[in-house]
Amino acid sequence: MNTLSRHLICLSLLFFSTFAWSGLPASVDGRPLPSLAPMLKQVTPAVVNITTQGRVIERSSLFDDPLFQRFFNVPGIQRERRTQGLGSGVIVDSRQGYILTNHHVIKDAEIVIIRLQDGRQIKAKLVGADPDTDIAVLQIEADNLTAIPSADSSQLEVGDFVVAIGNPFGLGQTVTSGIVSALGRSGLGIESYEDFIQTDASINPGNSGGALVSLRGELVGINTAIIGPSGGNVGIGFAIPINMAKSIMAQLIQYGEVRRGRLGVGAQDLTHELAQSFDLDQQQGAIITQVTPNSPADHAGLKVGDVVTAINGKPLRNTLDLRNVVGLLPIGSELDIEIIRQGRSHNMTATIALPQFRKIKGGELNRQLRGTILRDITNDPRYSGEIEGILITAVEFNSPAARAGLHEGDIIIGMNDTAIANLEMLEKRLKQRSRRKVWLNILRGRTELYIMLP
């Protein structure tokens, strides 16, 4: 290699190393390069890390096996397990110290610790939680808090840029960016009420409860879930719209719970085949299959066979949309319901009313059910007339019912191979039973199983 070549190589190395170390210029043609840093400096102090400590009662699935119970007649064995969790939250009211997060972040927690960006760690109080929408409200007492201003999430459009902020895998505050991939996602089976914002901004375990913000630094959603084959991010994340979250938050602050109303109908999806049989051009909607007497639907004049096509001016795709609309509006709200009846369009007005539930302690029906609280689900808006049965709303630890294997959230749909629609039927069947042992047919999530009461 000659001297000229060596000099050229040295000059080239000097040029590229100088360029690499100097970094990008602060401006191009006198204009600063775009950066999210100024916006993030304003909003990141409002996103907090959450750690939880709690305990859960576990029971071996073996004891839920009806064959095992039948042949061995062994009562259920429960044990207590300590739990720890990580998640994120968003300060939405700096004066009152209110923090929005997901219900699943603080579920079963006895102690909730908030860690602020400045390093302060503060014990939080649970104001209220709504498992059906996966929203929880916490409160802390602290000075100099920063809150994120909220946007109107109904104004979001597919393609809008968004930023996700949270605590993935417990690494600490992390920022990712993306766009709004879709709006109004539902039917995913993640929550009972779904109206998700879908985004490709990376959301991972630990991001739950964190903030989804616009480029203006306004809160548009609460990050809540992902779809991924291994639990990691593949570009499909979901956030609860802030309009929906703040509506739930208002009820949790006022009542400590969400008071959902009822319309009083059962319905099924309008399929292509049903649309043809009804001679309808409409391909989406919900067909009313049941109207509860003296319900808001009955008073509004709705009838079996009506096809609901829109509510409050928004097209209705299916029964899930119907349930979401009713379940997410406060009691007393008016619904403008568009229907098709015998080929003609009509408009009805209904007012969402407070559900009328019959509730009873299980021990009043049967000593083996002692320790439970039972409730008819006939008027429960979560089921929209799709299921008949009795919801177990509470099970006391180590009670006869708990030892038998009953869980909170189970739905009793049968007893000794006879369908049970409500508490009145269960009470009647228990009095009329000819054999001593009682087998309950239980719906747990999407699984049916039998449990024997000893």
**Per-residue buried b or exposed e for 112-138, using 16+ beta carbons within 10 Å of the residue's own CB:** bbbbbeeeeebebeebbbbebbbbbbb
Nearest to 395 by CA among 343, 353, 337, 440: 440
Give how far Cα 223 sits from Cα of 5, 162, 209, 237, 441, Å. 58, 12, 5, 8, 36
Catalytic pick among 134, 306, 321, 376 = 134
The DSSP bridge partners found for residue 130 are 135
Strands (E), 342-431: 344-351, 359-361, 372-376, 390-395, 411-415, 418-419
Catalytic residue list contains 298: no
Nearest to 123 by CA among 51, 207, 54: 51
Catalytic pick among 104, 130, 195, 399 = 104
Rounded Cα–Cα distance for residues 394 and 408 (Å): 5
Rounded Cα–Cα distance for residues 449 and 423 (Å): 19
Rounded Cα–Cα distance for residues 386 and 70 (Å): 31
Write the DSSP symbol of residue 282. -
Rounded Cα–Cα distance for residues 163 and 177 (Å): 4
Rounded Cα–Cα distance for residues 152 and 135 (Å): 18
Catalytic pick among 208, 295, 384, 399 = 208
The DSSP element (H or E) to which 431 belongs, if any, is helix 423-432
Catalytic residue list contains 208: yes
Residue 296 CB partners (closer than 8 Å, separation 6+): 261, 262, 263, 264, 350, 351, 352, 353
Catalytic residue list contains 152: no
CA atoms 310, 314, 320, 324: torsion sign: negative
Nearest to 294 by CA among 376, 381, 356: 356
Residue 184 CB partners (closer than 8 Å, separation 6+): 195, 196
Residue 38 CB partners (closer than 8 Å, separation 6+): none
The DSSP bridge partners found for residue 265 are 291
List active site positions. Answer: 104, 134, 208
